[in-house]
């Protein structure tokens, strides 16, 4: 048990603080002989990198990843893969003002109460900077899925709600996701969000978001009931991302309002003995095991707690005061959570691929024929 590690068999451990010399992770359990280069990881880090638009923190971090072990002649060796990113832009002075104050809605209070340590430099370990290593580890997980699942697994995510503003699902276009600074699949919504977020930013405020992650090509049979259910692990994975307050799979909370008939994903036979589902209310998971349909998860991110609007709080010494967080903060942390959500999906799936293989042998393809 290690509270800074995730995954049972494909397992990664992260380390590092926002303003320390570096952040890193160790990926253990990776199958051998998988082609892996820094560039395979870098491309995902680049999507998450801060400072890419005026809507994300202006901290300038190249976020260049180095592979320190576990790869020989371009192939994974089956031994631990150590990944590291040096921190470059650490302006600790920005935080001196707020050092003794607790930010309402921020982890600084609970870290201090738990550990008796106040690392005021950008949130220390609780900073969202840690999520860079999830993206790095997630890139390795994608290579595992690519090499070990026939046809590959495609994992994509999109922002489907910013503040109170949703999208029109009829306009969903995956190609749009990388065409706007919000990872929004609806070009029209993205335009409106730009104005909305400008207003939020100028008001010194912040807003939340909802992210949807979709994995296609997931083999049938992944998931380890009862307590290693695929959806239970996804829930933990998504909820562990900074600022996340809710997670749902498939129809999610809306399922509560459906009738049994509406919620049933009826089954027909396709060609070649493969069953076809008429709908996907299940979000690709039944009884904690993947059905072969797309695995669909959504998570809600709360507004950034570091805002310019003054809020009442107290100091470490128990004095009442108010706080204004200057520094460089994302007005909507949900945006940069999009690649993180994808990474967590990849990590959970890679782990369950190995778990399935251990107990049941090679996994069946997503569209598997019936067994008998």
36, two tokens: 């892996």
Residues in contact with its own copies, shown as a per-residue x/- string from 106 to 135 under the rule CB under 8 A:
xxxxxxxxxxxx-x----xxx---x-----
Give yes or no for residue 208 binding its own copies (CB under 8 A): yes
Q: How many residues bind its own copies (CB under 8 A)?
A: 161
Per CB under 8 A, the list member of 60, 191, 278, 326 interacting with its own copies is 278
Backbone angles phi, psi at 49, to 5 degrees: -50, 140
- Nearest Cα to Cα of residue 337 among 249, 195, 240: 240
Question: With binding defined as CB under 8 A, does residue 55 bind its own copies?
Answer: no
The answer to the question of residue 345 lying near its own copies (CB under 8 A) is no
User: What is the spatial distance between Cα 67 and Cα 144, in angstroms, rounded to a whole number?
Assistant: 16
Taking CB under 8 A as the binding criterion, the range among 51-59, 89-97, 174-182, 282-290 that sits at the site for its own copies is: 282-290
Residue choice 137, 184, 343, 364 for contact with its own copies (CB under 8 A): 364
Which region, judged by CB under 8 A, interacts with its own copies, from 42-50, 180-188, 290-298, 335-343?
290-298
CA dist., res. 333 & res. 128, Å (int): 9
List beta partners, residue 82.
26
Q: Which stretch binds its own copies (CB under 8 A): 35-43, 56-64, 183-191, 262-270?
A: 262-270
DSSP summary character for residue 88: -
Q: Are 25 and 13 in contact (CB under 8 A)?
A: yes
Q: Which is nearer to its own copies, 177 or 333 (CB)?
A: 333
174 belongs to the binding site for its own copies (CB under 8 A)? no
Query: Is residue 271 near its own copies by the rule CB under 8 A?
Result: no
Name, in order, each residue with C-beta under 8 angstroms of 4's C-beta and a sequence gap of 6 or more: 13, 14, 15
Distance in Å, CB of 97 to its own copies, minimum: 17
Does residue 1 interact with its own copies by CB under 8 A? yes
Tell me the C-alpha distance between 257 and 253, whole Å: 8
Token representation of residue 281: 């209310």
């Amino acid at each position: 048990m290690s509270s800074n590690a995730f995954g049972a068999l494909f397992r990664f451990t992260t380390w590092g603080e926002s303003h320390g010399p570096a952040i890193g992770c160790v990926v253990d359990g990776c199958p051998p002989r998988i082609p892996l280069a820094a560039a395979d990881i870098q491309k995902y880090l680049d999507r998450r990198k801060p400072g890419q638009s005026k809507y994300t923190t202006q901290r300038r971090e190249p976020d260049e990843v180095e592979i320190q072990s576990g790869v020989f002649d371009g192939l994974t060796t089956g031994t631990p893969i150590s990944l590291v990113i040096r921190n470059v832009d650490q302006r600790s002075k920005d935080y001196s003002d707020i050092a003794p104050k607790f930010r309402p809605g921020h982890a600084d209070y609970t870290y201090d109460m738990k550990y008796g340590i106040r690392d005021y430099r950008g949130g220390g370990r609780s900073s969202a900077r840690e999520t860079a290593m999830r993206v790095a580890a997630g890139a390795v997980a994608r290579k595992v899925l690519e090499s070990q699942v026939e046809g590959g697994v495609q994992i994509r995510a999109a922002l489907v709600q910013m503040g109170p503003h949703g999208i029109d699902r009829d306009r969903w276009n995956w190609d749009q996701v990388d065409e706007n600074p919000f990872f929004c699949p609806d070009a029209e919504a993205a335009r409106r969000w730009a104005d909305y977020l400008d207003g939020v930013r100028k008001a010194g405020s912040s807003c939340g978001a909802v992210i949807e992650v979709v994995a296609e090509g997931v083999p049938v049979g992944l998931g380890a009931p009862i307590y290693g259910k695929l959806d239970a692990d996804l829930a933990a994975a998504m909820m562990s991302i900074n600022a996340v307050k809710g997670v749902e799979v498939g129809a999610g909370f809306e399922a509560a309002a459906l009738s049994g008939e509406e919620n049933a994903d009826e089954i027909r036979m396709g060609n070649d003995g493969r069953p076809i589902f008429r709908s996907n209310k299940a979000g690709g998971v039944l009884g904690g095991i993947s059905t072969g349909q797309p695995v669909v998860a959504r998570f809600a991110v709360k507004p950034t707690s570091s805002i310019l609007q003054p809020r009442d709080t107290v100091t470490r010494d128990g004095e009442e005061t108010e706080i204004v967080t200057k520094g460089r903060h994302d007005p909507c942390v949900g945006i940069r959570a999009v690649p993180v959500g994808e990474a967590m999906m990849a990590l959970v799936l890679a782990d369950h691929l190995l778990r399935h293989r251990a107990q049941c042998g090679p996994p069946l393809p997503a569209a598997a024929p019936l067994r008998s």
